């Protein structure tokens, strides 16, 4: 990676949590016991994406809210050690750092969420970060920020203020069930005009309220809302649609250990490649490579020993 390819600073706005990750191989025995491998890791869609961007050598600043508890100390220490700027992670004394119980199998994960301090994100948090980073060229927003009523004003302000300052923007749609609760059309109104909208197929169908939409078709329909729509398909790769046409890439073949954070890694790879000047198809391939790396690891963060030189 050349020096010119790593100077384009990114602000990532959204969530930081502790993941209590339980990976099990058999079906859950509801009301009884199921054997699992359990670990405690850093998580949160925004924090994960920021960590993957940093692993690729992209200057990145996380804008979020954590508690003043030990969990918050640990999460910030992990992110800082990975190269993520945490100056604009506000510490809130009146709320705990968010936490998520993740029940993961090889191809699926189910999450039980306590958003905690993430609900306290405010427009002023975003303004402070934008003022302090005049070299920022892109703002990426975790959709969870919009799905939570408490943090929604901060998320909406992040998109509008970034666009007003000339930054490009992207949003990850986050999670299908809460999208259905708020309504797909409502969420699309909140993100109308973003440069890149990312969603997995379940989320894309929830956004369009079309449970049977095929991938290329839903990508084209979502591209009427955003400059480019990217639909992540897991083991089937990804498709995108936008003014330059439609593209698809296959997934990288790899043994799946844990799918947690794969979409966050995909987003980081796609954005880093786009900001480095690569075309859409190459950016999709980079996203797919990073998503594959993510599913080969436990948890949603990159291996601290990885090298950024391959981008």
Give the integer Cα–Cα distance in Å for 171 and 191: 7
- Tokens, residue 39: 């670990």
What is the DSSP secondary-structure string of 115-133?
Answer: -GGGGG--HHHHHHHHHH-
pLDDT category of residue 1 using cuts at 50, 70 and 90? very low
pLDDT category of residue 282 using cuts at 50, 70 and 90? very high
- Tokens, residue 228: 């480019």
CA distance readout (Å), 300 to 22, 111, 170, 211: 13, 13, 20, 27
Compute how many other C-beta atoms are within 10 angstroms of the C-beta atom of residue 186: 12
| Sign of the four-CA dihedral 241, 300, 212, 149 | negative
How many residues belong to the chain?
311
Active site amino acids:
264
| Sign of the four-CA dihedral 112, 55, 68, 139 | negative
Does 139 score more than 90 pLDDT? yes
pLDDT category of residue 122 using cuts at 50, 70 and 90? very high
Q: Tens digit of pLDDT for each residue in 258-281? A: 777 899 999 999 999 999 999 999
The DSSP call for residue 68 is S
Give the integer Cα–Cα distance in Å for 192 and 188: 6
Does 157 score more than 60 pLDDT? yes
CA distance readout (Å), 8 to 42, 110, 132, 141, 271: 25, 34, 15, 17, 11
Q: Tens digit of pLDDT for each residue in 186-218? A: 999 999 999 999 999 999 999 999 999 999 999
Give the integer Cα–Cα distance in Å for 166 and 187: 23
pTM for this model (two decimals):
0.92
Task: Name the E strands within 202-293.
Answer: 228-232, 238-242, 245-249
What percent of the chain is helix, strand and coil (3-state, nearest 5)?
A: 40, 25, 35
Does 309 score more than 50 pLDDT? no
- Tokens, residue 235: 């083991």
Q: What is the mean pLDDT of the chain?
A: 91
Topology of the domain comprising 3-16+44-97+115-295: 3.40.1190
Domain extent listing, the chain: 3-16+44-97+115-295
Between 83 and 7, the higher pLDDT residue? 83
Is 72 exposed, middle or buried (CB count within 10 Å of its CB: 0-12, 13-18, 19+)? buried
Selection from 119, 99, 101, 118 nearest residue 110 by Cα: 101
Task: Name the E strands within 68-114.
Answer: 89-92, 98-104, 109-114
């Amino acid at each position: 990676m050349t020096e010119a390819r790593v100077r384009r600073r990114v602000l990532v706005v959204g969530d930081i949590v502790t993941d209590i990750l339980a990976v099990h191989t058999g079906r859950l025995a509801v009301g009884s016991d199921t054997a699992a491998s359990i670990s405690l890791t850093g998580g949160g869609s925004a924090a994960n994406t920021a960590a993957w961007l940093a692993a690729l050598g992209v200057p990145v600043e996380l804008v979020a809210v954590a508690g003043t508890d030990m969990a918050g100390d640990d999460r910030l220490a992990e992110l800082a050690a990975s190269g993520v700027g945490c100056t604009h992670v506000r510490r809130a004394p009146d709320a705990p750092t968010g936490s998520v119980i993740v029940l993961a199998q090889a191809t699926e994960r189910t999450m039980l969420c306590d958003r905690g301090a993430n609900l306290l994100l405010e427009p002023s948090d975003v303004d402070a970060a934008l003022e302090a980073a005049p070299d920022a060229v892109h703002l990426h927003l975790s959709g969870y920020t919009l799905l939570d009523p408490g943090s929604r004003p901060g998320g909406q302000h992040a998109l509008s203020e970034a666009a007003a300052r000339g930054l490009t923007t992207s949003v990850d749609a986050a999670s299908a069930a809460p999208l259905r609760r708020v309504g797909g059309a409502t969420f699309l109104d909140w993100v109308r005009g973003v440069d890149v909208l990312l969603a997995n197929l379940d989320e894309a169908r929830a956004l369009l309220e079309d449970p049977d939409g095929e991938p290329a078709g839903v990508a084209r329909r979502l591209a009427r809302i955003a400059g480019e729509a990217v639909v992540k398909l897991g083991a089937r790769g990804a498709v995108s649609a936008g003014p330059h046409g439609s593209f698809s890439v296959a997934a990288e073949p790899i043994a799946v250990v844990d799918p947690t954070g794969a979409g966050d890694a995909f987003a980081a790879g796609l954005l880093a490649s786009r900001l480095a000047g690569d075309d859409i198809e190459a950016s999709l391939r980079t996203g797919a490579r990073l998503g594959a790396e993510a599913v080969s690891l436990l948890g949603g963060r990159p291996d601290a020993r990885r090298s950024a030189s391959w981008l």
